[in-house]
Amino acid sequence: MDTYHVLGLMSGTSLDGLDLAFCRFTYKNENWIYEILNATTLVYSNTWIDSLREAETCSGQQLVALDHAYGRYLGEQVRRFVTDTGIQPDFISSHGHTIFHQPDKHISLQIGNGAYLAAHAQLPAVCDFRTLDIALGGQGAPLVPIGDELLFSEYDFCINLGGIANVSYQKNGQRLAFDICACNMLLNHLANSLGKSYDADGLLARSGSLQQDLLEQLNAPAYFTEAPPKSLGKEWVLENSLRTIDSHNSSAEDKLRTVCQHIAFQLKQALRPLHPGRHRVLLTGGGAFNLYLVELLEQLLGPEYSVEVPEPEVVSFKEALIFAFLGVLRWRGEHNCLRSVTGASHDNVGGAIYLG
């Protein structure tokens, strides 16, 4: 029996904050068992939100400095969390924060330098999970599906409603996954315009009216009809979805209502052709707390699909949990990135290790 205690770090495109999840993984009888032992979300200061949001406009020198500064920030937060809670991680496993993701150009950058993270956390660190896969011709995303396969195999579909919504599922003996559409990046953007950090329970969206012309514009991009493997970056969302939303002449509530319809529709479009019959759907990520969005999805999918929102800890920290798990697989030298998902030339063992 092998057991690992790992602190997973996740920062998503929606800039909700830094998720820390201290997890235990045990390999027993050829199965992985997980437990989230302690988890929290650290809300970013306005300074960090601005720095991360505007990083794509930095000069090369400024971006290197930000990479190092953010790595130091991560390390300091880890050190404080470890001291305050008394936990004893074997190592840290960090996703970093995505600044660029353009795999067609062989570009994907997650800042949060591993050397600075390990040095300031005073712990070994695993990071940079995407680069090897992109070097092998893959998308470098999504990375979570190997965790879905090994930790959440009882579900037919695993959907994460984060900054970008994605799905993972098993078909013909292999794991497949792809990004579906922008999610919390759009919802939080509109809630921010009303002075709120997010649309609690989807109440603002529920109060709005559907804008059919906006819905058609949001559903129009060719990406939605392309076959996987495929993935989305912040750049695509800014150029397409956010620009469309911002240019439409309607209230923020009406836009929220319409964006929820857009997300639910694209989720249905992604799921319905994949498997006939009855299915269990796991729904996690911040968008799973949007009751109105979940209701719309249930209505569009119909009774053949059982949409399940697990306990809040799993909803909030599943991605940090799985990045901790990706670190375990990297530590063991086992595949943690699947060619069936990313389109790379072969399965690979992604991630750089800094021993500190």
pLDDT, tens only, 296-306? 999 999 999 99
Whether residue 189 sits in one domain with residue 270: yes
In a shared domain, residues 259 and 178: yes
Do 207 and 272 belong to one domain?
A: yes
The confidence score (pLDDT) of residue 336 equals 98
The answer on pLDDT for 273 being more than 80 is: no
In a shared domain, residues 104 and 56: yes
The pLDDT, as a whole number, for residue 14 is 82
Measured between alpha carbons, how far apart are the two ends of the chain, in Å?
27
The boundaries of the domain holding residue 324 are: 2-140+319-354
| pLDDT, mean of residues 273-295 | 91
Give 206's contacts (C-beta < 8 A, 6+ positions apart): 257, 292
Give the per-residue pLDDT at 186. Answer: 97
Tell me: do 285 and 149 sit in the same domain: yes
Region 7-33: mean pLDDT is: 95
- pLDDT tens sequence across 146-188: 999 999 999 999 999 999 999 999 988 899 999 999 999 999 9
Report the Cα 275 to chain-centroid distance in Å: 24
Is there a contact between 184 and 195 (Cβ–Cβ < 8 Å)?
no
CATH of the domain at 206: 3.30.420.40
Residues 71 and 162 in one domain: no
Interval 223-264: pLDDT, tens: 999 999 999 999 999 999 999 999 999 999 999 999 999 999
Point out the domain boundary residue: 299, 314, 329.
314
Burial of 90 (0-12, 13-18, 19+ CB in 10 A): middle
Residue 329 scores a pLDDT above 90: yes
Confidence of residue 13 (pLDDT cuts 50, 70, 90): confident
Mean pLDDT over 80-109 rounds to 96
Alpha helices, H only, the chain: 46-53, 60-85, 114-121, 131-135, 145-151, 184-193, 203-207, 212-218, 234-237, 243-247, 252-271, 291-301, 312-332, 339-342
- What pLDDT does 272 receive? 77
Residues 197 and 271 in one domain: yes
Q: Summarize the confidence of residues 126-133 as an average pLDDT.
A: 98
Q: Is the pLDDT of residue 70 over 80?
A: yes
Q: Report the percent of the chain where pLDDT is more than 90.
A: 94
Identify whether residues 282 and 342 lie together within a single domain: no
Q: Are residues 303 and 226 in the same domain?
A: yes
In this prediction, residue 1 carries a pLDDT of: 63
pLDDT, position 89: 98
Q: How many CB atoms lie within 10 A of CB 156?
A: 19
Total domains, the chain: 2
pLDDT over threshold 90, residue 92: yes
CA distance 192 to 188: 6
Residue 172 zone, left/alpha/beta (φ > 0; ψ -120 to 50; rest): left
In terms of domains, do 176 and 288 share one?
Answer: yes
- Digit-coded pLDDT (tens) for 215-228: 999 999 999 999 99
Same-domain pairing of 235 and 299: yes
Is there a single domain that holds both residue 108 and residue 13? Answer: yes
